[in-house]
Structure 1
Amino acid sequence: MNSMLQTDFKLSDVEISDAQDIGHHVEVPAMQNGPLYRTMFPQFNTLIEAQREQITRWYIEMLENAFQAREERFLKVCSVNGTPVGFCGWTVIEQSYDRQQTGEPRKKEREKARKASWLPDTLDIDGWVALSNDLKAERYRVLKDLDNICRLTFMAVHPKYQRQGIGSMMMQRICKETDQQGRCGYVLAAPEGVPLYSKFGFEIVGHVETTHGTITSMFRPSQGPC
């Protein structure tokens, strides 16, 4: 049994150069059992090593693009040997979410980037697009009339390091900043994330059902500045 404590881990900001290690050691291992990954890659049980590596390279490229764009905030948690074991990201929406959805410049840039990117051979594009649309619709339903939102976009801990307080370390930092700014919080949670978010005051406000499990829509009311 791993007896490492929170004090054995270090929380810090993410650099662009971290994408390779975070993709290999955190993001892909953590999400392989989740509804989103299994919808995107329905052959998940029969993937060969070369296919898994292609998927990992794709995720690494997406992380690099996200780190370079600087539209989101990111944190990593590393073990004593410097290997990332946890990772999170969030974005702040400071104007109406409803108005954000009609922002043509950002939409055009994202579409341009999507068209320029390659896709893994095993990706179920139709399944991915359909679920993405359902998730966007749920976000819009909950956030459409709100301002000053902290929306969690990434939260992952390597399976071997789960239930050791790493997720709580990251959530404590996010919630502290969120509360100082008087923001509400929002996340679409995979099944294993629901207890963590509930612990930090997120309430269940909806569900998106998939063939591989439920993605839970969770909202945290503003706690006001400290």
Structure 2
Amino acid sequence: MLPTAPARASPTFQLDMATPKDVPEIIQLWYDVFSIPAMLELWPDTPGVRWWWESALHQDMLHRPREKYLKVMDASRGRIAAYGKWSLETAQERGPRFPRWHPDMDSCHNDQFFQVLENNRARVVGDGRKNFYFDMLATHPDYRRMGAARLLLEWGCQVADQEGALIYLDATDQGRPIYEGFEFVDRSDAQSQSHLTGLVPMVREPRRVM
């Protein structure tokens, strides 16, 4: 009888706020996760675009207090296993989601892509109700299906419940199951243009806090 392979030990995760010193590792993690043609068309992996990322993340962390970056640390290895960005404000309160595109980016393509997402959010939750946006979720391939994404979602859902806020997000097909586990509902329709973005709008109603 062949011996069975030992079970992979689950890492010890620690959830914390990301800081500016984490930005280089966060950017590398983003490219580790999203180096696929559709994403590289938006954010090519060039030194100039990495500089753009650094500038954008520093601006958020230092000057936009309702834009929250969280990290899930593998405490045993001292590395970031996953990170998420929660925008705890409406699109109107937040203002432009991104700074001016870097010359290495296709500004026309990016403008069209993100305008579709902004239009979807405005149509689905832009009726005056308080709403937050789960802007980004990236889990390193070494840590998938280990609960890191769940920690990031639980944090934002608790804040939304406490403040009575809807949560809006744009989901990939791969990400939909975990969001559905947190009571997010697919709100796509004929106007969503998911065929252009590969993303579907999803919304979670706040739970009543006792």
Query: TM-score by structure 1 length?
Result: 0.77
Quote the Cα distance in structure 2 between the aligned partners of 1:149 and 1:66: 19
Aligned pair count? 200
* 2:71–2:84 contact (8 Å) kept in structure 1: yes
Which residue is equivalent to 2:25?
Answer: 21
In the TM superposition, structure 1's runs of 4+ consecutive aligned residues that sit over 6 Å from their partners are: none
Cα-Cα RMSD? 2.7
> Which among 80, 87, 91 is matched to residue 83 of structure 2?
87
Q: Post-superposition shift, 1:88?
A: 0.8
Higher relative contact order (CA 8 A, sep 6+): 1
Trace 1:142-161 onto structure 2 (pairs within 5 A).
142-161=124-143
Identity of counterpart residues, as a percentage? 21
Distance 1:40 1:184 in 2: 28
CA distance in 2, matches of 1:159, 1:169: 16
> Match of 1:40?
42
Q: Deviations over 1:136-191 (max 9, x none)?
A: 11110011113221211121111222111110111122212222222221101233
Tell whether the 8 Å contact from 1:148 to 1:183 is kept in structure 2 after alignment. Answer: yes
Partner Cα distance (1:193, 1:65) in 2: 27
SS in structure 2 of the partner of residue 27 of structure 1: helix
CA contact (8 A) 1:204 1:219 kept: yes
* Structure 2 match to 1:181: 163
Mapped to 2, the partners of 1:120 and 1:4 lie a distance apart of 44
TM-score, normalisation: structure 2: 0.82
Residue aligned with 1:119, SS: coil
Whose helix proportion is higher, 1 or 2?
1
Structure 1: tracts of 5 or more residues without a match = 45-50
Selected match of 1:214 from 190, 198, 206: 198
